[in-house]
Amino acid sequence: MRLVIAIVQDKDAAKMTEQLIKNEIRATKLATTGGFLRAGNTTFLIGIEDERVDQLLQIIADSCRSREQFVTPNAPLGNQVESYVSYPVSVQVGGATVFVVPVDRYEHF
């Protein structure tokens, strides 16, 4: 048994949820916020049998795509605020960050 923690962009969460349901994979969804862009994410907690981990990783890869997004950096703190000019910067967002963790014990009540 493995615990898969998948952090995906909100734009990809609906498609991934649909694919999980279609493949009869149960998951717990949590609304989360990323630290870098302060943008909404969805974190999926999925307990799954070892032999289905590769199938799940393929579902995640097929459901979540990366994309470019322009963001304006935050103004610096301190005395240099007057000379600060903010230009939008292109960053890559999306895709998925996935952790696969072994589970020593699983109980369902």
Q: Map residue 71 onto helix, strand or coil.
A: strand
Asked if residues 20 and 37 have their Cβ atoms less than 8 Å apart, the reply is no
Under the banding of pLDDT at 50, 70 and 90, the label for residue 108 is: confident
Under the banding of pLDDT at 50, 70 and 90, the label for residue 92 is: low
Residue 35, beta-bridge partner list: none
Residue 8, beta-bridge partner list: 42, 96
Asked if residues 13 and 29 have their Cβ atoms less than 8 Å apart, the reply is yes
Average pLDDT, stretch 33-53?
A: 85
Domains of the chain, start order: 2-72+87-102 (3.30.70.120)
At 74 the pLDDT is 62
Asked if residues 32 and 13 have their Cβ atoms less than 8 Å apart, the reply is no
Q: Map residue 24 onto helix, strand or coil.
A: coil
User: Does the predicted model carry a pTM greater than 0.85?
Assistant: no
Task: Tell me the CA distances in angstroms from 90 to 37, 39, 70, 71, one per residue in order.
Answer: 12, 15, 4, 6
